[in-house]
């Protein structure tokens, strides 16, 4: 075990009459603790390690009375922004590692479980898109719009050939009288189209892409046993503190290195031995529950831990906080750029030997749950004709 510390203190005391003396200058301090190199190979193998680093710079300023003061002693400094990380982030990191080991996020089990909805979705919408394109080719924009929104009940054997009359009708209904066109459009139709894209076409196209990647990877490339994935959060703001403005920044970055001890089976790679996740995916409105409590991610992480022969998981957490002087209002003059910075690194082997070791999902805040995309989907759900939507998706 190697431990140590290093300090470089370039600060010196400045006398400030009628005020606290100032300790001005740069300071650097670091402590660490970790394993030594392998005594035989002399290589630094995977090991646990901790490090803490602190850097600061204090400067002088002339206050409103013209007196010289130390910035940190006289004005103080705001606290650093809190770091943003919870168990949901750990779950995302584990599922990200699982996707990387498998080669993609493709889940053949889910595709089989939803096969009848998938076939119906392809058949209905392929016909709709084909008819929409055919309508546009003949200049019939009105019918094309109805076909796209699912308002057209059947396919005509022939389309209007007089494009001029069609265009006159289009100009009258959509350009000369836009209010009339808006009134004719049903909100429920638009909502159904939004939901169908979000939870029908987009996942379907993603599955096609991911499945080809998975097959290509495992047919053409040898299986490797070491994988790294990373996730990070950064927050910034500017805050007023005793007449001075400070920039604050906090960042946390977590990486996990997963070592697979033996080559997994094809059924594990394709999620074919994950019936619980499939059951959750085909549960009505399970995706809405996942907005607020990521149950699906916990099930995916549990399957990864259970079905893969994991040799080790090395978790490295890096954090950095900075509070940096930004500006001061005249006549205050700051002679330099005072700041306080802290860094840390914690590297530990993570024990995920059973379900109890997997981080439990946390309920998200309303801000986290209702992202702009989720908010759009929520509005669409509230205004959709769910009976029509159920026929094509998993409800």
How far apart CA 378 and CA 370 sit, in angstroms, is 8
Q: What pTM, to 2 d.p., does this model score?
A: 0.65
* Range name among 100-104, 224-228, 236-240, 358-362 with the lowest pLDDT average: 100-104
Whether 141 contacts 170, CB under 8 Å: yes
Q: Which domain holds residue 30?
A: 1-74
CA distances from 388 to 11, 110, 368 (A): 72, 22, 29
pLDDT score recorded for residue 245: 94
Number of domains in the chain: 1
pLDDT digits (tens, 9 = 90+) for 288-316: 677 777 887 888 888 888 888 888 999 99
5 in a structural domain: yes
pLDDT score recorded for residue 359: 86
Q: Which residue has the higher pLDDT, 153 or 91?
A: 91
176 in a structural domain: no
Tokens of 325: 């002087």
Give the Cα-Cα-Cα angle 46, 49, 52 (nearest 5 degrees).
150
Residue 220 has pLDDT above 90, yes or no: no
Give the burial string for 261-285 (b: 16+ CB within 10 Å, else e): eeebeeebbbbbebeebbebbeeee
356 in a structural domain: no
User: What is the rounded average pLDDT for all residues in the chain?
Assistant: 74
Query: What is the mean pLDDT of the segment spanning 250-269?
Result: 86
Q: Which residue has the higher pLDDT, 214 or 50?
A: 50
CA 326 to chain centroid, in Å, comes to 30
58 in a structural domain: yes
């Amino acid at each position: 075990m190697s431990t140590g510390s290093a300090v470089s203190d370039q600060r010196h005391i400045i006398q400030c009459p009628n005020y606290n003396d100032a300790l001005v200058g740069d300071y650097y301090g670091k402590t660490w603790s970790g394993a030594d190199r392998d005594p035989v190979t002399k290589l630094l193998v995977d090991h646990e390690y901790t490090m803490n680093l602190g850097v600061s710079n204090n400067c002088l300023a002339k206050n409103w009375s013209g007196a010289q003061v130390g910035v940190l002693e006289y004005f103080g400094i705001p606290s650093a922004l809190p770091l943003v990380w919870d168990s949901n982030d750990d779950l995302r990191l584990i599922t990200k590692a699982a996707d990387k080991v498998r080669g993609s996020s493709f889940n053949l089990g889910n595709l089989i479980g939803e096969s009848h909805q998938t076939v119906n979705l392809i058949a209905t919408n392929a016909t709709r898109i084909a008819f929409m394109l055919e309508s546009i080719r003949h200049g019939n924009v009105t019918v094309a719009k109805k076909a796209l929104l699912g308002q057209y009940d059947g396919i005509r054997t022939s389309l209007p050939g007089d494009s001029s009359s069609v265009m006159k009708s289009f100009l009258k209904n959509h350009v000369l009288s836009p209010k009339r066109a808006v009134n004719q459009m049903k909100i429920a139709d638009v909502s159904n189209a939004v939901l169908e894209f979000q939870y029908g076409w987009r996942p379907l196209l993603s599955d096609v892409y991911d499945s080809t990647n998975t097959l290509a990877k495992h047919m053409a490339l040898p299986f490797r046993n070491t994988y790294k994935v990373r996730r990070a959060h950064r927050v910034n703001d500017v805050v007023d503190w005793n007449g001075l403005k400070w920039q604050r920044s906090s960042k946390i970055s977590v990486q996990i290195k997963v070592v697979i001890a033996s080559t997994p089976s094809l059924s594990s790679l394709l999620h074919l031995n994950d019936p619980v996740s499939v059951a959750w995916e085909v549960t009505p409105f399970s995706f809405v529950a996942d907005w607020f409590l990521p149950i699906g991610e916990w099930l995916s992480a549990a399957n990864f831990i259970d079905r893969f022969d994991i040799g080790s998981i090395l978790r490295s957490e890096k954090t950095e906080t900075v509070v940096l002087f930004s500006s001061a209002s005249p006549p205050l003059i700051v002679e330099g750029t005072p700041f306080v910075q802290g860094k840390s690194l914690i590297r530990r082997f993570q024990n995920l030997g059973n379900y109890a070791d997997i981080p439990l999902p946390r309920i998200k805040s309303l801000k986290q749950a209702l992202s702009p995309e989720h908010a759009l989907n929520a509005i669409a759900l509230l205004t959709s004709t769910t009976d029509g939507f159920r026929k094509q998706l998993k409800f």
